[in-house]
Structure 1
Amino acid sequence: MDDSGCDLSNEQRTEPLEPSLDSTESCISLPFLPLPLVKKPHTTPENPLSSHMQFLQHLLELKKFMESGTLKTDLTHLEKDSSTISDSVLQLLDGLITFYHNPRLPFSNFWTEAVGTLAQLASDCNLSNLILKKCYKKLEEFKKTLLQAILETSNINRFQVQHYICKSLVILGSCSLLRKSIVPLLLSEINSFTDDLEAINQVQATYDVTRYENIFFLLWILEQLLQIETKEHSSCIDHDDPEIKKFLQKLDGTVFQLSDAFPLFTFYLWRLGILLNSAKMEIVGSSALP
């Protein structure tokens, strides 16, 4: 936790841009059964312990639904009160947003479990429409909170925290419905940074080194999501999205303009361009099949 990211010893070195891809951390076995999934009023700041317990309650019960194999039969009962699951998801998101506004080490496995459970729920065909319809704004807030936690931190010991946040975004993007909106969100930040870097390079001005370092985490996340897209032969990404079109249209010019001053950055952009074009070619090829 005290590592600033500058330790060069072979035993302790950790590459900040290559977090683990394992998104299936085991949940800690608890000596009690999950509590019933019921609506709870939002807790007040005066009772933080209650809010932590409610977060745990909603996480455990939602995981029980996903892992019990009885979700479809449970939905028949829940149709009488369809807001039960969505309310629990909203309160789970509230807890995650509160934590990621000011994330600190050590990270509990429960945060990863919570993000993984959200991705599972959004991937379930029986629940995805319900969750996306009622929790869309809160999900967008959560994704933007994760991005801000990566981009806006300047602490010298930030790399370990960013490692876990990157992992959370990749887990969230494992759901194709969520990946569709995460990819343009990442590209929006990358395109904006690229524009600023081009302007700085033209006048040979100094640039924000911390911002430059932080953007590489977004590049890594985007690469992982595009690799998932290619591996799954998925076509969830909208290649007509303005941010995707802007990135691909400017890619060649950006590489030529910035390759001398920022070779690592332009190399990463080129790799992302290859992945985006590969995914696009697969979609065109699939649609051309009889």
Structure 2
Amino acid sequence: MDSTTSDCDTADVNYIKRVKCAVAIAVIRNKPEDMSGEQYAKKLRETLQKREEDWKREAKRLEVELLTAKQELVKLKAEETFHKWDSRNLYAASIETAPDQFSDHFFTPPSSSETISSMEGPKIHREFNNGIRFLHCAMCLHNHNKTMSVFKTSESLDVLENSLTSVVDHLLENLEEIPSKDLNWAVEGVLKVVSSDLNVDSEKKLEGTCWRLIQGLLKKALIGGHNQPYKYQETLISQILYLCKVKSLLIPTLKLLIHQIVKLSEMLRQYTNKQCDLNVAQYENGCNAFNILEQLLSLSSTRENIKGEVAETMKEQLESSLLHITESFPLFAHYVWKLNSYMNIK
């Protein structure tokens, strides 16, 4: 079997060599007289790269169009469901807005032909703005009657998942350009979707997308304060705390922050032993990790979710970070002891 595989690999290599030789001959034969073969090959490569980029943009445009069409179908289903509820008087006492009025606020992303709009500051794609509105309205619809939710079919769940992914991707790519009020609105919509009672498989995908958002926010929040305004950093931290209301996202966030502190302790230990220079950026990032971790642990909802074995493990990791550096870095030790005091272990 090995000899057969080897023969196949040799044949493939020989075929690739022949193809390369044929391409080179074709380039030389067809090149203009005022260009060398190398120049012509370079021009062809640039042309192919440009075509590939054009196809990627076209594919992205078509993805937006497809998502728009799917969300329009969900909207129609939502309106139909609300009309059914209204006709049966199921929510006559609890819903003050008529179905027709509600549908006016049930937004969907626009077509890709629409231009970028301005929202009191940096420019944001209108599809992003309307995508957030879709998440809010979709969850409002879902929470009115979960037994008759329009998100029962795989097709409608795909629309919701794609909408969430689109919003999160835009947040991560344009985080510094988005005003804090719009960031708050977007994160609130994301949390509503992740906290909704959908099927198990869908919840895992939604939580995975939300975890990507937390990682992106943490990456920005841990950067030293001299690189970004303090108010902006506080905004990021508040969004992280808000998203960590979901228990399945809280534990990984705590572990990631503790890992950052442990890495800092290892660097300080090497610095104490004169094995390396002090990494100021890493030291500052570790201080920010202390700040975020303290704010998380000070929340009563957090302490309720980290009792028992999880809290014990975290406490052991923090205590091990003090090994051999307590005397040299008493402030580091003080913060570790302070964080451990938040652990409500019984």
TM-score range with shorter-chain normalisation?
A: 0.5 to 0.7
Matched, 1:268 2:335: yes
2 CA distance for matches of 1:88 and 1:141? Answer: 15
Instruction: Tell me whether 1:58 sits opposite 2:101 in the alignment.
Output: no
Question: How far off its partner does 1:220 sit?
Answer: 2.1
Letter matched to residue 62 of structure 1: L
Counterpart of 2:274 in structure 1 is: 203
Could you tell me which of 276, 293, 318 is aligned with 1:222?
Answer: 293
Query: Residue 119 in 1 paired to residue 194 in 2?
Result: no
What is aligned with 1:83? 158
Q: For 1:230-285, what per-residue CA distance to the aligned partner results, in whole angstroms no more than 9, with x for missing partners?
A: 446633678459xx73x533544544633343333221111212223x1x32xxxx
Quote the RMSD (CA, aligned, Å). 3.6
> Aligned partners of 1:75, 1:85: CA distance in 2, in Å?
16
TM-score, normalised to structure 1, is: 0.67
Q: Indicate which of 215, 236, 242 corresponds to 1:144.
A: 215
Q: Once the 2 structures are TM-superposed, how far is the Cα of residue 225 of structure 1 from its aligned partner? A: 2.2
Cα deviation for residue 170 of structure 1 reads 0.8
Q: Using the alignment, how far apart are the partners of 1:234 and 1:128 within structure 2?
A: 25
CA distance in 2, matches of 1:78, 1:33: 20
1:179 Cα deviation from its structure 2 partner: 0.9
Counterpart in the other structure of 1:94: 169
Q: Which amino acid aligns with 1:140?
A: W
AA of the residue aligned to 1:60: R
Q: Alpha carbons of 1:250 and 1:121: their partners in 2 closer, same or farther (altered >3 Å)? A: closer
Pair 1:235-2:279 in alignment: no
Secondary structure of residue in 1 paired with 2:192: helix
Structure 1 runs (4+) deviating above 6 angstroms are none
- Contact persistence 2:262–2:321 (CA under 8 A): no
Q: Aligned partner of 2:288: which letter?
A: F
| Range moving further from structure 2, 50-59 or 172-181 | 50-59
Alpha-carbon distance in 2 for matches of 1:95, 1:137? 16
2:284 to 188, 204, 213: 213
Match of 1:110 in 2: 182
CA contact (8 A) 2:168 2:210 kept: yes
Q: SS state of the match for residue 261, structure 1?
A: coil
Per-residue deviation, 1:218: 1.8
Q: Counterpart of 2:231?
A: 160
Q: Deviations along 1:136-179, whole A, 9 cap, x unmatched?
A: 44333222212221334574444332222111111111222221
Q: Secondary structure at the match of 2:107?
A: coil
Tell me the secondary structure at the aligned position of residue 234 of structure 1. helix
Q: Distance in 1 between matches of 2:172 and 2:126?
A: 16
Written as runs of structure 1 = structure 2, the 5 A alignment for 1:25-44 is 33-37=104-108
Which amino acid letter does the alignment assign opposite residue 262 of structure 1?
F
Give the match's secondary structure for 1:180.
helix
Aligned in 2, Cα 1:139/1:69: closer, same or farther, shift over 3 Å? closer
CA distance in 2, matches of 1:76, 1:112: 26
Q: Distance in 1 between matches of 2:247 and 2:158?
A: 23
Structure-2 residue corresponding to 1:18: none
What CA distance in whole angstroms lies between the structure 2 residues aligned with 1:76 and 1:66?
A: 10
Counterpart in 1 of 2:145? Answer: 72
5+ residue gaps, structure 2: 1-102, 118-122
Contact 2:128 2:167 (C-alpha < 8 Å) held by counterparts = yes
The one-letter code sitting in structure 2 at the alignment partner of 1:96 is L
Could you list the per-position Cα deviations for residues 64-84 of structure 1 after superposition, in whole angstroms to 9, with x for gaps in the alignment? 344568443586323232222
- How many angstroms apart in 2 are the aligned matches of 1:75 and 1:227? 39
Percent identity over paired residues: 19
Larger helix percent: 2
Q: Which has the higher contact order (CA 8 A, sep 6+)?
A: 1
Query: In terms of Rg, which structure is larger?
Result: 2
What CA distance in whole angstroms lies between the structure 2 residues aligned with 1:75 and 1:274?
46
- Residues 173, 179 of structure 1: 8 Å contact kept: yes
TM-score under structure 2 length normalisation: 0.57
Code of the aligned partner of 2:289: L
Corresponding residue for 2:316? 249
